[in-house]
């Protein structure tokens, strides 16, 4: 277990080598806030996707979550 934990931490450190190619300073406070809120927003997004699927099922339509949206008049 200890080895597994150590591997995960090493893995994370490799993934999060923030110096890699980023020329922009992401800002510590901005990074931390993002990590705190993104998980919650991801959860809400998942609920929204399922809800849309249910709606689409009853409407008999389909949608692609990754399709490009259109810019235009509101």
Partner 1 sequence: MNKLNASFRDPAGFIFRDENGTILRQVNQAGKSDYDTLMDSGLYDVLSNKDFLISHEEVENKNSEVYKTIKPDLLPFISYPYEWTFSQLKDAALLTLYIQKAAIAKDVCLKDASAYNVQFVNGKPVFIDTLSFEKYVEGEPWVAYKQFCQHFLAPLALAAYKDVRCLQLLKNYIDGIPLDLASSLLPRKSKLKLSITTHIHWHAKSQKKHASDTEVKAKASKGKVSRLAMKGLIDNLISAVKGLKWKLDNTEWGEYYTFTNYSDTNFDRKKELVSSYIDKSSPKSLWDLGANDGTFSSIGASKGIHTVAFDIDPIAVEKNYRRVRKEGIPMLPLQQDLTNPTPAIGWAHTERDSLQMRGKADTVMALALIHHIAISNNVPLERIAEYLSKLCNHLIMEFVPKEDSQVKILLATREDIFPQYNLDGFEQAFSQYFDVVEKDQVGDSHRTLYLLKTK
Interaction site with partner 1 (CB under 8 A) = 9, 12-13, 15-16, 18, 21-24, 26-46, 48, 65-66, 68-69, 71-74
Q: How far is the CB of 11 from partner 1 (least distance, A)?
A: 9
Q: Give CA–CA dist 18/31, Å, rounded.
A: 11
Is the Cβ of residue 44 or residue 54 nearer to partner 1 in the bound state? 44
Is the Cβ of residue 4 or residue 60 nearer to partner 1 in the bound state? 4
Name the E strands within 1-74: none
Torsion over CA: 9, 14, 15, 20 (sign): positive
């Amino acid at each position: 277990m200890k080895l597994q934990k150590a591997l995960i931490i090493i893995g994370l450190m490799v993934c999060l080598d923030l110096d890699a190619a980023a020329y922009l300073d992401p800002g510590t406070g901005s990074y931390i806030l993002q990590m705190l809120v993104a998980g919650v927003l991801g959860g809400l997004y998942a609920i929204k996707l399922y809800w849309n699927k249910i709606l689409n099922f009853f409407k008999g339509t389909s949608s692609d979550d990754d399709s490009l949206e259109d810019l235009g008049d509101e």
